[in-house]
Structure 1
Amino acid sequence: MVSMILFDVDGVLLSEERYFDATALTLWEMLFSPTYLGLPGEPFETQPSEDTIRAIRKKVFVDDQILDLMKNRGINSNWDMVYLSFAHQLLCILEQLLPAHREEVTDIIQREITYDSLRRIAGLLKDQRVEIEYERFLTDFGQSAVEKQDLLLYLNDLVLSKLQVETHLFGATSSLWQLCQETFQEWYLGDELVVDNIGRAPTQQGKRGFLSDEIPIVAPQEMAATLSALQEKGITLGIGTGRPTVETMIPLQEMGLLDYFEADRIVTASHVLNAERERPEYAPLSKPQPFCYIKGWLGMQATTQQCMETPLPIIDVAETLLIVGDSVADLMAAQRIGCRFAAVLTGLSGQAARAQFEELGADYILDDMRQVVEIVGEEQN
């Protein structure tokens, strides 16, 4: 009988739309803002209109096809999405710079890519015009079957094929990944909150942030009724999310949902990052790695080492733990743990995701999180 349910947040409780918007805006800024690469042709602003945001996302992610590819390959973190999409465009730019600047391009790509590296590349771009073809992401990653965190490492293969240089610098622990992550946080949190979150002032000020503009998947009062009904059945409720702590707590608190979850079972991307810094040999730990769900199962008192040394699949967890998520990454994590998984069709692909979840063996496929009460009720009868 189910005794604990761990919920993902994005695509399950809260809409992913604003996260995808911030992902698109981060890519756009790093390509076209004079503060970063400063490519010509796209006027940059820190407070784009809603219509401009829609147009940018449609363009840079090719009608969300790029987002679909990443999600379907098991990438769940928007930080990873920003990194993959920007790093790929950077390699395409360097490929075009290669004939005229081979020595300098080779030197740049054999070192960690930092903010100074981007300014150095921006200097080369002043003398040469390059083309941005967002569709090339689909072609370059479509020719390989790599998935999960191996997608980040695949960037090293693309360096070799595009630039004829061997490197192993691309991955989730790189300087460029951190730069992309912090720039994303500037967009999502806005100027007022970002300093406490990343420990420095925004590189580019003037962003309002999206945190006060969250969209619930279903009406908050209906989610509250669902969570209350589960609590009444004696089920412990927790969270395993790719959101940082502040981006999890504030909207759920404002919607009156946070108190339904046990504080000891709320694991966020902030906890994942802290674990990676504490024990870098275990990185990466973001989904589809099951770390956040294992920690939620064991409780916050469990150390990183205890979580990582927990034998998988966990004995006897199949009947007691249920994970509720909207992504392939959540499903992969649940399968490694050995527990059951309920897929909700409220993520990026909506009802179109049903066939994929059926193929991958999800235990339950639900229209939205409200139906969790029904499947738990069936087991207890």
Structure 2
Amino acid sequence: MISTVLFDVDGVLLSEEHYFDASALTVWELLLSENYLGLAPNQYRVDVAFSEIKLIRGEVFQHDQVLSFLKSRGLNANWDMIYLTFSCQLIELLAQLDDKEKTAKWLSAPIDRGVLQEIGQALRAADVEIRYEAFLENFKDTPETKQCLMKHLDLLADEKLGVETSIFREKGALWSVCEHVSQEWYVGDEHVLQSTGRESVQTGKKGFLADEKTLAPAEEIAGLFRGLLDAGVKIGIGTGRPQLETIQPFQHLDWLQFFDENTVITADDVLAAQKTNPERGSLSKPHPFTYVMALNGRDKGESASLKAQLPYEGAGEVLVVGDSLADLIAAREIGCQFAAVLTGLSGEKARADFEKHEADYILSDVMELKRLF
């Protein structure tokens, strides 16, 4: 018997395509814009047509092979994907500079926007080449998964630059730069201050927030929520989206009425817990914290979720609905049942992975949940 259903959002209820678009544009901007490395400022602009975005994404993520690789290694956060992709490019570019003394200096302290501009000035003088294909070349044979992929960046720096560093393994200044540029693209000028607490570096971005696409008709998903509640099933949300990017579309789609706000857990909750508990490292999926807090309720406090004994009491009656291995890994640690939906990045191709990891249910889309009840 299932008494509680916890939903991921991206790839389950809402399409994550615009997140991937924004992620590609972020890497592209960090490389080209004079606000950052400035390798081709004449090619950079904010008014990019959708046809151009498709081309940029195809190049940056190698026709989504990079995204699929990262998803297959249990990485679920777009900000982490951006950081890994750009950092790999940065190491490749510094290898072409062939100046160990300068490189060692840059990799010995936090890499903020000012440092990126300084690096960019040296790279332009050396006439370097961007090689987007380098990511898969550098990562495909590594055994690392999840957050350990960031440690591999430090190994690459040692291998390619001859510089021992630990600058890349932590979510420091460079990660924050990547996050902010990403939010500029996704939420646009109107919401970036609310989203990040900082003004835009590059204004003129409209954002994707007003153009969310559902993975089934919105009214049918509303009917699913209503049907579960009428059947006495509790429902909640455990998403890697920030709160703004969760609450606003849910309000627009009239879905928020079905949820207790204490069980809608977002990236904001995860980041807040990480700041107050830095010794615990990353708490984002596949760490179970997001879903445990959705079970406990935000009003119980983050401490109760961090200290919860796993497997969670009564978890056998909980169903997590997600589209990624990160969701499955989190559900397994909690002791929940897991329903995989094939509406994420890999689509039907993900079936084999979910079968290999013995998902309890594999559904074509979220509406197939109806047959379980």
Please say whether Structure 1 and Structure 2 have the same fold, judged by a TM-score greater than 0.5. Answer: yes
1:331 maps onto 2:293 in alignment: no
Deviation at 1:109, TM superposition (A): 1.1
Q: Which amino acid aligns with 1:282?
A: R
CA distance in 2, matches of 1:284, 1:295: 15
1:32 maps onto 2:32 in alignment: yes
Deviation at 1:360, TM superposition (A): 0.9
Deviation at 1:47, TM superposition (A): 1.6
Q: Is the 8 A contact 1:80 1:172 kept in 2?
A: no
1:55 maps onto 2:52 in alignment: no
Match of 2:46 in 1: 46
Query: Pairwise mapping of residues 180-191 of structure 1 onto structure 2 (< 5 A)?
Result: 180-191=178-189
Query: Pairwise mapping of residues 1-381 of structure 1 onto structure 2 (< 5 A)?
Result: 1-40=1-40, 43-98=43-98, 101-318=99-316, 320-375=317-372, 377=373
Q: Which amino acid aligns with 1:338?
A: G
Q: Is the 8 A contact 1:279 1:304 kept in 2?
A: no
Q: Secondary structure at the match of 1:13?
A: coil
Q: Which amino acid aligns with 2:78?
A: N
CA distance in 1, matches of 2:330, 2:47: 37
Percent identical pairs in the alignment equals 45
Q: Which amino acid aligns with 1:91?
A: I
CA distance in 1, matches of 2:169, 2:101: 24
Q: Is the 8 A contact 1:322 1:339 kept in 2?
A: yes
Deviations 1:94-138, CA, capped at 9 Å, x for gaps: 11112xx22111110121111111011011023111111111111
Q: Is the 8 A contact 1:62 1:135 kept in 2?
A: yes
Q: Which amino acid aligns with 2:82?
A: V
Deviation at 1:40, TM superposition (A): 2.7
Deviation at 1:274, TM superposition (A): 0.9
Report the count of equivalent residues: 373
Deviation at 1:175, TM superposition (A): 1.1
Deviation at 1:303, TM superposition (A): 2.6
Unmatched tracts of structure 1, length 5 or more: none
CA distance in 1, matches of 2:193, 2:209: 15
Q: Secondary structure at the match of 2:190?
A: helix
Cα distance change, pair 199–81 in 1 and its aligned pair in 2 (3 A): same
Q: Secondary structure at the match of 1:204?
A: coil
Q: Which moved more, 1:245-254 or 1:164-173?
A: 164-173
CA distance in 2, matches of 1:42, 1:70: 31
Deviation at 1:316, TM superposition (A): 3.1
Deviation at 1:253, TM superposition (A): 1.2
Deviations 1:206-233, CA, capped at 9 Å, x for gaps: 1000000111101101111111111111
Q: Is the 8 A contact 2:34 2:117 kept in 1?
A: no
Deviation at 1:263, TM superposition (A): 1.1
CA distance in 2, matches of 1:47, 1:326: 31
CA distance in 2, matches of 1:80, 1:126: 27
Q: Which amino acid aligns with 1:303?
A: G
Deviations 1:272-310, CA, capped at 9 Å, x for gaps: 111111111122111111111000011112332321221
Q: Secondary structure at the match of 1:209?
A: coil
Q: Is the 8 A contact 1:15 1:216 kept in 2?
A: yes
The Cα RMSD (Å) is: 1.2
Q: Is the 8 A contact 1:8 1:241 kept in 2?
A: yes
Q: Is the 8 A contact 1:236 1:262 kept in 2?
A: no
Q: Secondary structure at the match of 2:282?
A: coil
CA distance in 1, matches of 2:151, 2:289: 20
Deviation at 1:315, TM superposition (A): 3.3
Deviation at 1:171, TM superposition (A): 2.9
Unmatched tracts of structure 2, length 5 or more: none
Structure 1 runs (4+) deviating above 3 angstroms are none
Q: Which amino acid aligns with 1:324?
A: V
CA distance in 1, matches of 2:59, 2:371: 40
With the length of structure 2 as denominator, give the TM-score of the two structures. 0.98
Deviation at 1:41, TM superposition (A): 8.1
CA distance in 2, matches of 1:257, 1:265: 14
CA distance in 2, matches of 1:351, 1:44: 35
Q: Is the 8 A contact 2:189 2:206 kept in 1?
A: yes
Q: Secondary structure at the match of 2:304?
A: helix
CA distance in 1, matches of 2:321, 2:167: 34
